[in-house]
Amino acid sequence: LIKDRQKKTEDISAVYDMKEKLGEGSFSEVRLAQDRRTQKLVAVKCIQKRALKGKEAMLENEIAVLHKIKHDNIVSLEEIYETPAELYLVMTLVTGGELLDRILVRGTYTEKDASSVVGQVLDAVLYLHNMGIVHRDLKPENLLYDTAFEDSKIVISDFGLSIIIITKCGIVDLQPERALFLSIHPCVSVYLLSAPELLEQKTYGKAVDCWAVGVIAYILLCGYPPFYDENDMELYKQIVKAEYAFDSPYWDDISESAKDFISHLLQKDPEKRYTSEQALQHPWISGDTALEKNIH
C-alpha cells in the first residue's frame, strides 16, 4: 500500500492511454485517459513543473496531503506519475459536468437543490478543516457532478494545490507571510471569491473557505456573484468592505433563512464568520427552511 502511494516514474502513457482534453489552465491540463490494465476511464491532471520553480519542496508537501484525502464529495486521487518536466495526478473520472452548466439547463431549480449542493460542499470543507487543510480555491468551476443522474452528488474536483495555487498568471504563493502578491497581482479572477482578509494580506485560515462557500451559495440562488466590478480596484474595495446586497427583484422570493445563512458566511470579520460546522447546523442546510419552489 505504501509503495502504491509513492510517485511513479515510469512512462504514464505505457499505463494509461491518454485521450482528449477535458479542461485546461496555463500550467496544467486535464485529459481523459484509459487504464490499459483495467480499461477504466480516469481523468489525468498534467502539471508543468516549470511553473513550480523553486517551489518543489512545497509540492511534495501538497502531494503528501493529497494522498490522505478520502471523502465522498472530493474527487479521489488514485496515482501520481512524475517525469523531469511534468507531474501527472490520476483522478477518478467524474462525468456529470460542471455545477453551473447543469443548473442552467435544468427545467426547475429550487432553494432545496441549492441547499443540497452547498451542504455537500460544506461536508467536504469540514472534513478538510478537521484535517487542518485550507482549500483556498473553492469556486463553482471546481464543483462537478459525479454522474449525469439527476440525484448525482457534487464533488470538489480541484485539489487546488492548496499551498501553491496555479493561476492563469503563474504561481501564487499564498502562505500568510508571503501573501503580498495580492496587492500587485494582475489577475482579477482570483479576487472574485477571495475573502477580505486574503485581499488585505492579513493572516488567514479556514475562514476563507467559508467565505467562498457564501459566495457560491449566493451565486447558486441568483445566478450572479455578490461582488463584481470590471475595475479591479473597485472590486477589491467591495470585497474588503464585504459590500453586497440582496438586490430586488432577484432576491425578492428567496427565503429569509437563505439570506441569513449567506450573511453569516459573507461576514467581513473572519472571527465572526460561521465556521463550516456552524454553517452545516444552520436550518437552511440541516432544517427545512430551504424553499421548494422553482427559482429559475
| 164, 171 Cβ separation under 8 angstroms | yes
| 210, 265 Cβ separation under 8 angstroms | yes
Compute CA 270 distance to the chain's CA centroid, rounded to the nearest angstrom.
Answer: 19
Which residues face 154 on adjacent strands? 145
Please, which residue, 25 or 283, has the CB nearer to ligand ADP? 25
The C-alpha cell that represents 258 in the structure block: 437563505
| Residues 6+ away with beta carbon under 8 Å from 167 | 25, 26, 187, 189, 190
- The reply to whether 53 sits in an annotated binding site is yes
| Residues 6+ away with beta carbon under 8 Å from 203 | 176, 197
Using CB under 5 A as the binding criterion, the count of chain residues that bind Mg ion stands at 2
| Residues 6+ away with beta carbon under 8 Å from 154 | 73, 99, 117, 120, 121, 143, 144, 145, 146
Binders of Mg ion among residues 77 to 136 (CB under 5 A) are none
Binding partner of residue 44 among ligand ADP, Mg ion, none, CB cut-off 5 to 8 Å per kind: none
Instruction: Answer yes or no whether residue 142 interacts with Mg ion by CB under 5 A.
Output: yes
Binding partner of residue 194 among ligand ADP, Mg ion, none, CB cut-off 5 to 8 Å per kind: none
117 by Cβ neighbours in 10 Å (0-12 / 13-18 / 19+) ranks as buried
Q: How far is the CB of 43 from ligand ADP (least distance, A)?
A: 3
Q: How far is the CB of 241 from ligand ADP (least distance, A)?
A: 28
Please, which residue, 157 or 255, has the CB nearer to Mg ion? 157
Annotated catalytic residue: which of 113, 123, 137, 146?
Answer: 137
H or E segment at 198?
Answer: helix 196-199
- Tell me whether residue 4 is one of the annotated catalytic residues: no
Please, which residue, 141 or 229, has the CB nearer to ligand ADP? 141
Which residues face 91 on adjacent strands? 43, 77
Q: How far is the CB of 97 from ligand ADP (least distance, A)?
A: 8
Judged by the rule CB under 6 A, the positions of this chain that interact with ligand ADP are: 22-23, 25, 28, 30, 43, 45, 75, 91, 93-94, 98, 141-142, 157-158, 166
Rg (CA), the chain: 19
Instruction: Answer yes or no whether residue 158 interacts with Mg ion by CB under 5 A.
Output: yes
Residues 126 and 132: their CA atoms lie apart, in Å, by 10
Q: How far is the CB of 162 from Mg ion (least distance, A)?
A: 12
Please, which residue, 103 or 161, has the CB nearer to Mg ion? 161
- For Mg ion, the binding residues (CB under 5 A) are 142, 158
Residue numbering of the annotated binding site for ATP = 53
Catalytic residues: 137
Residue numbering of the annotated binding site = 53
